[in-house]
Amino acid sequence: MENQYTYYKPEPDDMNGMNEETPKPKKNRKVPKPVKLVCAGVAFGLVASVTFQTGNYVGTKVFGTTTTNGKTAKTAQTVNGAKLTTSSSSTGTSDVATIAKNAMPSIVSITNMSVQEVQSFFGGTQQQESTSVGSGIIIGQTDSELLILTNNHVVEGNEKLTVSFVDNESVEANVKGTDSTKDLAVVAVKISDVKDSTMDEIAVATMGDSSKLEVGEQVVAIGNALGYGQSVTSGIVSATERTLDGYEGGTLIQTDAAINPGNSGGALLNSNGEVIGINTAKVATDSVEGMGYAIPISDASDTIQNLMNQETKTKVSEAEQGYLGIQGVDVSDESAKMYNMPTGVYISDVVKNGGAQQAGLTKGSVITGLEGTTISDMNSLKEQLQYYRVGDKVKVTVQVPGNNGEYTEKTVEVTLGSKS
């Protein structure tokens, strides 16, 4: 069992001066630049994205999901006025236990089966199956699907996704939408595949307001630590609006609640038992303890809403897959700032008579979206194209450069062609 995901690991030079007087905290303060982002995940086999996701209910009012089929998951209970404490008193233990008990029905485990190309013993490459595990949050329900929030890196590269509920029943799931920049994804499970007894056990989680968090406020983290099953840790909010090099999705919540491999994507709960963050990373070094990070749920709500409303995707075979007909180069956040251009995929060339050329896409433009999903690099573009066949029409969002160096956003419909 190998941990391969995101931790921030400072270089030795970053630790110099840590015993000196610390300046007054500022908003949006960055962790030292050499610190590297690593997601907390557990992989079984060669590769794997593992994360935990926990239930988060934004419900009809926020996410606009409804159900009328009579097969409905209940809403997770919250604990009004519960006071969390790290002491060994029975009161503190009871409070955390109550919050965890109420949240558990909203939390699922996610297994990602993928196929990786690896170096063979005799030279060359071969394909090998790999499994990773994570967690997810039940955030809504439609007439036909349960919607589950997780991290993008949990589902990335999947050949097959399996969701396991609180009663250990498992069903197959499909990706609904992903955002690699914010490291968010929504997967869907067909309600017809879920047993009635399981529907009675699970719940849609309750969403909190992360914008109201205060430093020092107590929180609870739940996730599938090390792939051993759901575990609970507690701590405080150490800081808000943290920025970390390697994560370009915005600011993060910092907490000292233990975030272990496999916790990535799990729920960070407030004292009412409401989800206020999605656990995603930690600092990993012998010199640092208790520095975990979560994506603020309120900051992510618009993205989640968009992902929930996308069409559920099923991968097509490689022989059927459609192609844009471009050659591209990644535009990283650093390159974008250096050259004053948008992040995404820079079109370095277009294939003659390919779909992109026929739709009017030209060299020099930057692809930033495909069918409502953010495109941050070639990997994310290839990932999205795996769901579309030759002849399918897709809407591509591009930034087109003008004579003055400014970029103008444009959406183009491209008919996908075959691989040239």
Residues 33 and 40: their CA atoms lie apart, in Å, by 19
| R_g of the chain, CA atoms, integer Å | 22
User: Domain check: are 133 and 261 in the same one?
Assistant: yes
Which is the catalytic residue, given 49, 130, 153, 234?
Answer: 153
User: Domain check: are 334 and 276 in the same one?
Assistant: no
337: domain CATH number is: 2.30.42.10
User: Domain check: are 247 and 331 in the same one?
Assistant: no
Residue 225 counted as domain residue = yes
Q: What is the pLDDT of residue 69?
A: 58
Tens of pLDDT, residues 105-128: 999 888 888 876 666 666 666 667
Tens of pLDDT, residues 209-234: 999 999 999 999 998 777 777 888 99
Last residue of a domain, one of 274, 308, 342: 308
User: Domain check: are 181 and 128 in the same one?
Assistant: yes
User: Domain check: are 44 and 81 in the same one?
Assistant: yes
Q: 144: exposed, middle or buried (C-beta count within 10 Å: 0-12, 13-18, 19+)? A: middle
Residue 257 counted as domain residue = yes
Q: Is 264 a catalytic residue?
A: yes
User: Domain check: are 231 and 162 in the same one?
Assistant: yes
Tens of pLDDT, residues 323-346: 999 999 999 888 998 999 999 999
End-to-end CA distance of the chain: 40
Residue 313 counted as domain residue = no
User: Domain check: are 51 and 138 in the same one?
Assistant: yes
User: Domain check: are 268 and 332 in the same one?
Assistant: no
Q: What is the pTM of this model?
A: 0.74
In percent, how much of the chain has pLDDT > 70?
A: 76
Contact predicate 380/332, CB 8 Å: no
Residues 299 and 250: their CA atoms lie apart, in Å, by 8
Count of domains observed in the chain: 2
Tens of pLDDT, residues 370-391: 998 889 899 889 989 999 999 9
Tens of pLDDT, residues 58-76: 333 234 444 445 677 777 6
User: Domain check: are 377 and 263 in the same one?
Assistant: no
Residue 113 counted as domain residue = yes
User: Domain check: are 56 and 98 in the same one?
Assistant: yes
202: domain CATH number is: 2.40.10.120
Question: Which of the residue ranges 122-126, 284-288, 294-298 would you say has the lowest mean pLDDT?
Answer: 122-126
Instruction: Tell me the one-letter amino acid at 293.
Output: Y
Q: What is the pLDDT of residue 269?
A: 94
Question: Which of the residue ranges 124-128, 201-205, 364-368 would you say has the lowest mean pLDDT?
Answer: 124-128
Which is the catalytic residue, given 231, 234, 264, 271?
Answer: 264
Q: Is 183 a catalytic residue?
A: yes
Proportion of the chain in helix, strand, coil states, percent, rounded to 5:
20, 35, 45
Residue 2 counted as domain residue = no
Residue 118 counted as domain residue = yes
Residue 182 counted as domain residue = yes
Last residue of a domain, one of 246, 273, 308: 308
User: Domain check: are 177 and 294 in the same one?
Assistant: yes
User: Domain check: are 249 and 380 in the same one?
Assistant: no
Q: What is the pLDDT of residue 261?
A: 74
Q: Is 335 a catalytic residue?
A: no
Which is the catalytic residue, given 14, 179, 183, 299?
Answer: 183
Whether the predicted pLDDT of 166 surpasses 50: yes
- For residue 62, the enclosing domain spans 7-308
45 to 53, 112, 152, 198, 240: CA distances (angstroms): 21, 11, 19, 30, 35
Q: What is the pLDDT of residue 291?
A: 85
Residue 147 counted as domain residue = yes
